[in-house]
Amino acid sequence: MATTWIKSIKATRSKSVSQTLTDSIDYITNPEKTRNGELVVGYECDPRTAVTEFLLSRQEYAAATGRGQRKKDVLMYHLRQSFKPGEITPEEATRIGYELAMRFTKGKHAFIVATHIDQKHVHCHIEFNSIALDGSRKFRNPYWSSKIIQRISDHICIENGLSIVENPKPSRGHYGTWLGDKKEPTQREKLELLIDKILAEKPADFEEFIKLLEVRNHEFKRSRRSVRMEGQKGFIRLNSLSPDHTEDAIRERLSGERTVPPREKPSPTRPAKLCLLIDVQNSIKAQNSPGYAQWAKVFSLKQAAKTLLFLQDNGLDDLEKLSAAAQGAKDDYNARQTRIHAINARLAEINTLQKHIGAYRKTKDIYAQYRKSKFSKKFYNQNEAAIKTCKAAKAYFNEMNLEKLPTIKALQQEYAKLSAEKKTLYSGHGDVRKHMQEVLTAQQNVRMLLNYRDTERGREHGPRSGAAR
């Protein structure tokens, strides 16, 4: 169940603007939480130099508008998106967080997405610059922005087959608590982790195991066969631990009679996302920032190589095939979108129709009596609500051109069938969208590369033709 919130990062008297940005960005890009930075991506900025780039954008904004730094000025905005434990991979969370930031900022603000995997539930931290990319304006955070982010996030999650919180309620507890997050490890759990760590050093026997335990400032009481960890008040008996951590189990593990599988580690794979090339020659930001221009050139070279690999892997070895693949991907995505919209419309129509059929069945006898009374005003006044309800139902049936009313059971069967089809479409909708984005990105990159090649050829032949004339 994906949840979101947003808060502003403001300048304070106790810290400089640079220090405030540095502390906040360093927190979300912590290597220990982001798999050594593998789960960190940026849009129109390099996470390693984002502080400098954000400060430069503020200078551009001040020069363009004449507005300087004010007290409690918003420097950037911080979003967090959390997912249900075990439902999503870190790589997929990074992609969804990137899409959320792109849709919310509409691509007009530089941002960083960092996925943290230090908790039981995967969650993304998104920080975007309050200054727009062109340096002409600031982001104005509306009062209902949290609702907007929630709706965008829910829509993306539904597209990717992820669960959402249907009716979220405010919680006073920590966000990880009501998500079912793992609490702080107990003293016994910490001791079990310590035992695993010491056994990984392969002590020769149990006595050497005790020595390694005591070297770490932990106390072992032989009379009670218990351990008191550093900073802990009481002792914990080894036999009160899990079956793999009792004294007998430790001795068996030392002798090789017992084997305990190692804890699972996250996969070191990194998503190879295909991004658009940066037009360095026509980029105002690149012209004003040599550092950004150098980074953009390296970034574009990497994306050009990824584009080539993507084209080779998908057998798109000429422009006609690429154009056909791009059109086919768009048609497939649009067809799914159209069908989903049609299903949603029909589901809403079935709901309305069921309500009118139920109301009509309850009030049709009263309306029949009203007609037999030759539309008596007294009868009407006594049964006004029922008569109006029946008339409204009949008007809706006429509007729908229904000669015969369907049964409730038939409508329920149709509703269940359409709901199942909608769920199937949504389950593969994310992959279809991703494929369309990759093909269109590759097509745009190829166009930019061909245009760049033609431009360079024109520069080479231009002086020669001029000299000939």
Render pLDDT for 160-205 as a digit per residue (tens, 0 to 9).
777 776 555 554 444 444 444 445 678 888 888 888 888 888 888 8
Please give the average per-residue pLDDT across 321-338, as a whole number: 91
Contacts 24+ apart (CB under 8 A), 140-148: 141/6, 141/8, 141/74, 141/77, 145/6, 146/4, 146/5, 146/6, 148/104
Does residue 152 carry a pLDDT above 90? no
Residue in 228, 215, 22, 6 with CA at minimum distance from that of residue 126: 6
Crossing angle of helices 50-65/17-28, nearest 10°? 140
59: confidence class by pLDDT, cuts 50, 70, 90: confident
- 116 DSSP β-pair partners: 123
Q: Answer yes or no: are the C-beta atoms of 71 and 10 closer than 8 Å.
A: no
Crossing angle of helices 206-215/187-200, nearest 10°? 120
Position 114 scores a pLDDT of 94
Task: Return the number of other C-beta atoms located less than 10 Å from residue 424's C-beta.
Answer: 11
318: confidence class by pLDDT, cuts 50, 70, 90: confident
Q: Answer yes or no: are the C-beta atoms of 243 and 252 closer than 8 Å.
A: no
Position 265 scores a pLDDT of 47
Task: Return the number of other C-beta atoms located less than 10 Å from residue 407's C-beta.
Answer: 10
Say how far apart CA 22 and CA 50 lie, in whole Å: 9
Position 239 scores a pLDDT of 87
How many Å from the N-terminal Cα to the C-terminal Cα in the chain? 70
Say how far apart CA 95 and CA 432 lie, in whole Å: 14
Reported as a single tens digit per residue, the pLDDT across 272-297 is: 568 888 887 787 877 888 878 888 88
Paired tokens of 5 = 């919130």
Alpha-carbon distance values, 354 to 396, 397, 401, 409, 418 (Å): 11, 11, 15, 10, 15
